[in-house]
Amino acid sequence: MTEAKLGGASGKDLGSPALRTFFNLAREWSLNEQEQMKLLGLNSRSIFQNWDAGGVSEISRDTLERISYLLGIYKAINILLPDRDRSNAWMRTPNNAHLFGGQSALSRMTSGNLSDLILIRQYLDAQRV
């Protein structure tokens, strides 16, 4: 995400609302703690638990970018599959598309690599065309 997309706002300015949105998405997708940490790019359980409890001082640009991609993925899935149960189930359903190699989208996304979030977002956006 470029500085222009962030509107010059800092991780401190966007951290709390971004994380609140992420945790709402995580509840909807029924993500466990480990999955959430992987999606956020976190290794520290104590930082994660602090964020989950609302104790946000600042989050990194990488974390903001990850959340941005996750929100785009969420939006695209819900456009493609307007039934909420079906769109949420898609995350854990094995997928035969080349990108997934029989894995679920969530398995690919929780590799810990930002590039996997980008690829899934691009895949979903291409499906909408």
Domain range annotation of the chain: 10-127
Report pLDDT for 32: 97
| CA atoms in the 13 A half-sphere facing the CB of 36 | 22
Report the C-alpha gap between 34 and 40 in whole angstroms. 10
> Do 29 and 91 touch, CB atoms closer than 8 A?
yes
pLDDT at 38 over 90: yes
Task: Tell me the whole-structure pTM to 2 decimals.
Answer: 0.86
> Do 32 and 81 touch, CB atoms closer than 8 A?
no
pLDDT tens digits, 114-129: 999 999 999 999 998 7
Q: At what angle do helices 61-80 and 114-127 cross, to 10 degrees?
A: 30
Query: With pLDDT > 70 as the criterion, what percentage of the chain qualifies?
Result: 88
pLDDT tens digits, 67-105: 999 999 999 999 999 999 999 999 999 999 999 999 999
Report pLDDT for 7: 45
pLDDT at 47 over 60: yes
Taking residue 109's Cβ as centre, other Cβ atoms within 10 Å add up to: 25
Reduced to 3 states (helix: H, G, I; strand: E, B; else coil), residue 62 is helix
φ, ψ dihedrals at 54, nearest 5°: 90, 5
> Do 99 and 35 touch, CB atoms closer than 8 A?
no
pLDDT at 4 over 80: no
* H, E, C per residue of 25-47: HHHHCCCCHHHHHHHHCCCCHHH
Report pLDDT for 12: 52
Of 61, 42, 62, 60, nearest to 52 by C-alpha is: 42
Average pLDDT of the chain is: 88
